[in-house]
Structure 1
Amino acid sequence: MNSLNLPSYEARVRSVSGRRQIFDVLRKKYVSLTPEEWVRQHFIHYLIEHLGYPAMLMANEVQLQIGDKRVRADSVLYDRRLAPRMIMEYKAPDVALTQKVFDQISAYNLLLRVDYLVVTNGLDTYACKMDYERGGYSFMTSIPTYSEL
């Protein structure tokens, strides 16, 4: 898999029937090892191991309903009352982080109304803090630690 602009970790990877899988620490099971999943697992470990995010307050593949359409937010961070605080959207390293990606995470946020949005392809990462009073957002220079949220 590609080298990322995220700290490395001891990924648990296995091969089953010729297909590679990686262990998802949040779902507590092996999942198909795709380039996007490689990014997700590195980012989740970065949040937990380097920024102090509690694993028990995060979930992967969170199902949402937008009209008649069911979609899945890649990862969601919750507060201790289980209210959503942050949505994370992952793309494979070779996928550019275009306006379409930001539109996708913004659509999820119409339902969840979180404080922070993060998009990453493992090479580039963008985070913004929402400002609902002013109807906007501001880009952040780094991902905040859990205690800074």
Structure 2
Amino acid sequence: MQKLNFPDYTFRFKNSENKIAIFDLIRKKYILLTPEEWVRQHTIHWLTEDKKISKNLINVEKIIKINDLIKRYDIVVFQNNGGIKLLVECKAPTVKITQETFHQIARYNLLLKADFLMVTNGINHYFCKMDFENQQYIFLNDLPI
């Protein structure tokens, strides 16, 4: 897999039926290794190892319903009180992050109401703080969590 713009982490892999799977620390199972999953797993390790976020506060790939459409978010980090601190959208490294990517995460956040957003393709990372009062997001250099 492609080298990403994250620190180096140790991953567990499994080869089954000529397909490689990577162990997900949150879901506690092996997941088929796709380019997007490679980014998602790096992001999970970055959150738990570098940002020191408890695995117990992280949720991965859960279904949400937005305007009668079934969607699936990539990563959510909860606050201790049950509110959502961070919503993360992961894309494969070959996927360019565009305004549409930000529209996608903003649509999800209308329902989830996370304080912070992160969009990453593993190469480029974007961090935002939500300003709900003015209905906008403010770009940050890093996550203050």
Give the shorter-chain TM-score range.
Answer: over 0.9
Query: Whole-Å Cα distance in 2 between the matches of residues 135 and 34 of structure 1?
Result: 34
* TM-superposed deviation, 1:69: 1.1
Equivalence for 1:96: 96
SS in 1 for 2:100: helix
TM-score (norm 2): 0.96
Equivalence for 1:85: 85
Equivalence for 1:141: 141
Equivalence for 2:116: 116
Identical-residue share of aligned pairs (%): 44
Tell me how large the CA RMSD over aligned residues is. Answer: 0.9
Amino acid at match of 1:18: N
* TM-superposed deviation, 1:44: 0.8
* TM-superposed deviation, 1:143: 2.3
Equivalence for 2:57: 57
Displaced runs of 4 or more, over 2 A:
none
* TM-superposed deviation, 1:134: 2.4
TM-score (norm 1): 0.94
* TM-superposed deviation, 1:135: 2.3
SS in 2 for 1:88: strand
Equivalence for 1:5: 5
Query: Whole-Å Cα distance in 1 between the matches of residues 137 and 70 of structure 2?
Result: 26
State the number of aligned residues: 145
Q: Give 5+ residue unaligned stretches, structure 2.
A: none
Query: Whole-Å Cα distance in 1 between the matches of residues 69 and 56 of structure 2?
Result: 28
Amino acid at match of 1:62: K
Query: Whole-Å Cα distance in 2 between the matches of residues 69 and 120 of structure 1?
Result: 23
Query: Whole-Å Cα distance in 2 between the matches of residues 26 and 5 of structure 1?
Result: 21
Q: Give 5+ residue unaligned stretches, structure 1.
A: none
